[in-house]
Structure 1
């Protein structure tokens, strides 16, 4: 597969440090996709889970090194922290290895339109007003992910395609309370208040590109279940990329065997 180059890439909700994170898929995605600018739209590192128990396999380092390497080669990389990596919100305007940290950004599209970029957790009532409930929900989500791993292994042995139980369960619950629709509405309203033509966010793990009363709403999805990213082409059009589907269709091997040659050595 040839490398694709875009004007801008938007990635969020990787949750490095969580056993559910599909860091190998993201590493492959970054091998085959380049951009002038990469926006990391929050929850790239899962500080909540790392506080509970430390889990940081080599592939997490590899993803970080890959992003740092892109920054060194001239890609602008901007990190907008989310609620799971909120510790970085204390460092707006700082640079770490060439990666910028910003609370939110106004992005000028190639077509002249303006897009407000933010993670979106400030518009999640559960996270904003009931942190304990949010943590309980996070625990329940971990349980769903564990079920997902078992089901995925069974389906793989039976020759069946990948299917995410956790994504299905979450979608049923959140549709039941109209969470997704309400979240999209308030985030689009925030973009409208700032005079933006659109908004690009993450947080709810539900990738989509759609218009909402004159505002383009774009959600990057996640790298726990769906493995999605948003790409902006040189003409200003946006594309939703589902990497797990592409990788499966083209039988692209995971990048584990390529790490030593592609990634620079870790500092001791």
Structure 2
């Protein structure tokens, strides 16, 4: 018998299944703690680009268990909406169709319990808005692969020592001025689309930089990824949103909670500092 849902909606993106970097075990841990009525898979669930490059492209045991868990959710009444990203763009051919109770869409407008209309998309549609020299893109891609490989070794070493998950690459990104500027440009592109669509906010992924807050009067959320940050967005039954980690620990609470005063978390203080630096640059 399926266990009763304890959350209204869960948003996850950038799982990159099919690669050794995917933290499927940690996402499975979160999904055992958070049982949603509705699940949004916000792109790059499978990394078809990386799988095509590899001689053997298979999902490891944890990844297979995660896929079975998602299929079981869909089969037992959870509404599962799959929005393909740039790494699994081949599935965009099936937008508008339903497979094994999973709806495939190009994007969606999610209405929270408290009535906020939030545009949900992967975010790669904004790539054309960022202009950079070819050499910079090549160097950046090489640095990204190096960071992820080093991160993989760090994660494996900490796991063998019984230490909790910690991402070296995510920590390095938080200290990078280029990453901060890139995240700010992405956010501005998302907010521009929000204005055009006439909705109340945006939820996306793609850039592997989690963020949650109120920007220019709109809700803006990047729910992160499951390669480095291992974060997701949860909507509670009253419409309150939370950015959480793999243990369901709240990293950032809703900028507009239903009622009551609360103290800022350390993560929110850090995000506020980032926002201030981006505004002043």
Smaller-chain TM-score bracket:
0.7 to 0.9
Q: Does 1:45 align with 2:35?
A: no
CA distance in 1, matches of 2:49, 2:66: 19
Partner residue of 2:273? none
The Cα of 1:63 is off from its aligned counterpart by: 1.2
Q: Does 1:6 align with 2:7?
A: yes
CA distance in 2, matches of 1:98, 1:135: 40
Partner residue of 2:259? none
Partner residue of 2:21? 20
Partner residue of 2:115? 112
Q: Does 1:169 align with 2:172?
A: yes
Q: Does 1:243 align with 2:242?
A: no
CA distance in 1, matches of 2:20, 2:234: 26
The Cα of 1:191 is off from its aligned counterpart by: 1.0
SS at match of 1:141: helix
CA distance in 1, matches of 2:19, 2:129: 21
The Cα of 1:172 is off from its aligned counterpart by: 3.7
C-alpha contact (below 8 Å) 2:191/2:202 kept by paired residues:
yes
Q: Any gaps of 5 or more consecutive residues in structure 1?
A: 247-268
CA distance in 1, matches of 2:148, 2:218: 33
Partner residue of 1:193? 196
What are the equivalent positions in structure 2 for 1:18-167 lying under 5 Å apart? 18-53=19-54, 54-125=57-128, 137-154=140-157, 162-167=165-170
CA distance in 2, matches of 1:78, 1:116: 13
The Cα of 1:73 is off from its aligned counterpart by: 0.6
When structure 1 is superposed on structure 2, of 53-62 and 197-206 the one drifting more is 53-62
TM-score w.r.t. length of structure 2: 0.78
SS at match of 2:189: helix
CA-based RMSD: 2.7
C-alpha contact (below 8 Å) 2:30/2:247 kept by paired residues:
no
The Cα of 1:108 is off from its aligned counterpart by: 1.1
Task: Evaluate the alpha carbon distance shift between residue 160 and residue 91 of structure 1 in structure 2; reply closer, same or farther with a 3 A threshold.
Answer: closer
C-alpha contact (below 8 Å) 1:9/1:35 kept by paired residues:
yes
What are the equivalent positions in structure 2 for 1:192-231 lying under 5 Å apart? 192-231=195-234
Task: Evaluate the alpha carbon distance shift between residue 36 and residue 152 of structure 1 in structure 2; reply closer, same or farther with a 3 A threshold.
Answer: closer
SS at match of 2:15: coil
